[in-house]
Amino acid sequence: MSNDSLRLDRWLWFTRFYKTRMAASAAVHGGHVRVNGERARAATSIRIGDEVQLVRQQLTYELTVRGVPARRGPAKEAQACYDESPASIARRQQRLAELRRDRLQMPMTKGKPDKHTRRQLRNRKGR
């Protein structure tokens, strides 16, 4: 294998977007990862300059590959392998704020929700 490319699932794992390579592979197979605008497979080769769009935990990342790591090292090494667009960072921060607002509006109870709270939760989900 050459040093200028790496499998997509390994790159996602090496750059610490997923805790395990299996989780990275599952995300790719689930269609949550696009490379250069096209749906990718786990074995897709990632090279410097590629554009990666990734959806993880309801958050979207738009990355440009800046390096191909040789190992899964410290977070500082991993962050040096990609750049994220400022627009992507702003959209992710806005989405996080929306999710936090939604959570604050949910009915809160100590422990398991009671019957009344469960009905409120069901009504919010539209069931």
Give the pLDDT confidence score for residue 1 in this predicted structure. Answer: 40
Question: How does DSSP assign 10-58, residue by residue?
Answer: HHHHHTTSSSSHHHHHHHHHTT-EEETTEE--TTPEEETT-EEEEEETT
Domain boundaries, the chain: 5-125
Domain 5-125 sits in CATH at: 3.10.290.10
Q: What is the pTM of this model?
A: 0.76
pLDDT at residue number 102: 80
pLDDT reported for residue 110: 76
Instruction: State the 10-residue block means of pLDDT for the chain, 127 residues long.
Output: 80 94 94 93 92 92 93 92 93 91 74 85 76
